[in-house]
Amino acid sequence: MRFQSQLLSDSEKEQIHKEALNILQNTGAKFHSQKALKLLESNGARIDWDKKIAYIPSELVEQALKTTPSSFVLGARNPKFDYPMPSPVSRFCLDGTGSFAQDFYTGEHRYGTIKDNENGLRIFQTMDMGVMAWPPTSAEDKPAYSRPLHEWAAMMKFCSKHGEHELHFVNQAPYFAEMLTTVLGSEDEVRARHAYSLTYCPVSPLIHDGPMMDAYLEVGSLDVPIMVLPMPAPGMTGPASLFSAICLADAEALSSIVTYQLAHPGRPMIFSSATGTMDMRNGAFLGGTPEMGLMSAALIEMGRYYDLPSTSAGCTADAREPGADAVLEKIITTIPPVLAGSDIILGIGVIESDQLLVLEQIIVDNEIAHFCERIFQGVDSAPGRVLTNDIQNVGPGGNFLSRKSTLEFARSKEVYFSNLLDRHTADQWLQLGKPSMYSTARKKVEEILAGPLLDPLSDEIVSRLDEILIRADRELG
């Protein structure tokens, strides 16, 4: 008995799709990429060149959905972490490119650095529920014109799981391509392995960033997968209802898929979203809300409606510091996408509306992922779990401690026992110094960072990556 949910009825999915098609055909989307506009026009879209708006007919959407793969293997630098999508379970992604980090030693909130990325990626490497890495904070100590490349290199060096990130300008693309072939060995291996992917965020409402889109088109021949991540917030960058914000996100995702499929039919795409809400009292963006979880679940179902790999944001929090607020918000934004069947949930390790990396939070979030996974697994009703004979043998007033089935139950995975939560008696808890989930997580972070780098690249490849970065800093600057 799997614990799954369905938020949208079949008719509601069809309605969302029709509303999205209506938006694309009659409102259109603005593209700051001349290459994209020319591509769309040559394939039948009507273009208002003065406004840079493309009016995309439904036929183009249907064509793009036909050429987009319905499944593929999300590879990894180490093939043992390969992850087929769609997946029967939900796994997790390290949240990416926040502006700030909480210093592990001083507690100071400051701009993120390349070292923060390295530490966060090392910790994420050990998280058993994590399958996709993302540099968790912007490396403000690196030049802006080459910063994403430094973040890519940190991910390649310090984590051997699948990695995804961004490019900001087309002139970064050749260096990125060289980094991929350096790590994976050849262009053919880059195309075959799909070990790294790009995340693409349309700018809500209905705007496509030109430099980023051009960069992603530039590396299309390497078949680098793209995760499309629309981010409308009802009442702010989206219409003031959850349903219409979902329709807008759907339209933004479809317009992205159309463009990339016209350029490179068959390129792997991931249907995703990172919606939020607005605090109507002060205008702040909020990601740790029940409504965010609901919109994520709905858009996961739309991805399934299109027969595409489907991921979402989740495990998100607006809390200013680690603690009960963060855990509450992360749980309420994780359960809906898990029950809706998200392939991957993006949010581990970051709080303060996806802007603050906290190393201990990576450990805590991995534990939240385990608890939500256990809920999803439901109740096992297999014949071996039907213990009516035990009930008859024990009878009224007895106990089941001596039954063989109880011993088997204790050794099974039917009950999840957390290594992060304290389960001692009150006296033992006091004697141990009142350990908490976060204090235990902190010790785990210390152990990981004090230990050796896991699954490292060879010194030769590291040196070649460093040489690429030196050239990028010099030439792009």
Q: Confirm whether 389 is domain-assigned.
A: no
pLDDT-based confidence at residue 3 (cuts at 50, 70, 90): confident
Residue-level pLDDT at 410:
83
For the segment 177-190, the average pLDDT, to the nearest whole number, is 98
Q: Confirm whether 423 is domain-assigned.
A: no
pLDDT-based confidence at residue 233 (cuts at 50, 70, 90): very high
| Cα-based distances in Å from 133 to 224, 390, 399, 402 | 15, 47, 47, 46
**What single DSSP character describes residue 414?**
S
CA separation for the pair 152, 183 (Å, rounded): 11
pLDDT-based confidence at residue 280 (cuts at 50, 70, 90): confident
Percent of the chain with pLDDT over 70: 100
What are the b/e assignments for 105-132, b being 16+ CB within 10 Å?
A: eeeeeeebbbebbbbbbbbbbbbebbbb
For the segment 196-216, the average pLDDT, to the nearest whole number, is 98
For the segment 134-162, the average pLDDT, to the nearest whole number, is 98
CA separation for the pair 285, 265 (Å, rounded): 36
Final residue of a domain: which of 343, 377, 411?
A: 377
Q: Confirm whether 442 is domain-assigned.
A: no
Residues 222, 279, single domain; the answer is yes
- Checking if the pLDDT of 231 tops 70, the result is yes
Residue-level pLDDT at 370:
96
Residue type, 279: D
For the segment 190-214, the average pLDDT, to the nearest whole number, is 98
What's the total number of domains in the chain? 2
Peptide bond into 205 cis (omega under 30): yes
Compare 225 and 384 and report the one with higher pLDDT: 225
Final residue of a domain: which of 33, 57, 81?
A: 57
Compare 477 and 149 and report the one with higher pLDDT: 149
Residues 224, 367, single domain; the answer is yes
For the segment 295-305, the average pLDDT, to the nearest whole number, is 98
Percent of the chain with pLDDT over 90: 92
Final residue of a domain: which of 377, 411, 437?
A: 377
- CATH assignment at residue 307: 3.20.20.480
For the segment 87-111, the average pLDDT, to the nearest whole number, is 96
pLDDT tens for 346-371 read 999 999 999 999 999 999 999 999 99
Structural domain of 49 = 19-57
Count Cβ atoms below 10 Å from residue 377 Cβ, excluding itself: 15
Residue-level pLDDT at 413:
84
Count Cβ atoms below 10 Å from residue 276 Cβ, excluding itself: 28
Least confident window among 3-7, 101-105, 309-313: 3-7
- Checking if the pLDDT of 61 tops 70, the result is yes
Task: Indicate the average pLDDT of the chain.
Answer: 96
Query: Across the strands, what pairs with 286?
Result: 277
For the segment 127-142, the average pLDDT, to the nearest whole number, is 98
pLDDT-based confidence at residue 125 (cuts at 50, 70, 90): very high
For the segment 271-283, the average pLDDT, to the nearest whole number, is 93
Residues 33, 117, single domain; the answer is no
Residue-level pLDDT at 155:
98
For the segment 213-238, the average pLDDT, to the nearest whole number, is 97
Residue-level pLDDT at 1:
64
What is the pTM (predicted TM-score) of this model?
A: 0.95
CA dihedral 252, 254, 256, 261 (to 10 degrees): 180
Q: Which residue has the tokens 């998280």?
A: 127
Residue pair 437/141 in contact by the 8 Å Cβ criterion: no
Q: Confirm whether 306 is domain-assigned.
A: yes
pLDDT-based confidence at residue 388 (cuts at 50, 70, 90): very high
11 — alpha (psi -120 to 50), left (phi > 0) or beta? alpha
First to last CA, the chain: 58
CA separation for the pair 428, 438 (Å, rounded): 18
Residues 153, 196, single domain; the answer is yes
Residues 25, 111, single domain; the answer is no
Q: Confirm whether 448 is domain-assigned.
A: no
- Checking if the pLDDT of 2 tops 90, the result is no
Return the biggest CA–CA distance within the chain. Answer: 82
pLDDT tens for 244-263 read 999 999 999 999 999 999 99
For the segment 146-160, the average pLDDT, to the nearest whole number, is 98
pLDDT tens for 390-433 read 999 999 999 999 999 988 888 888 889 898 998 899 999 999 99
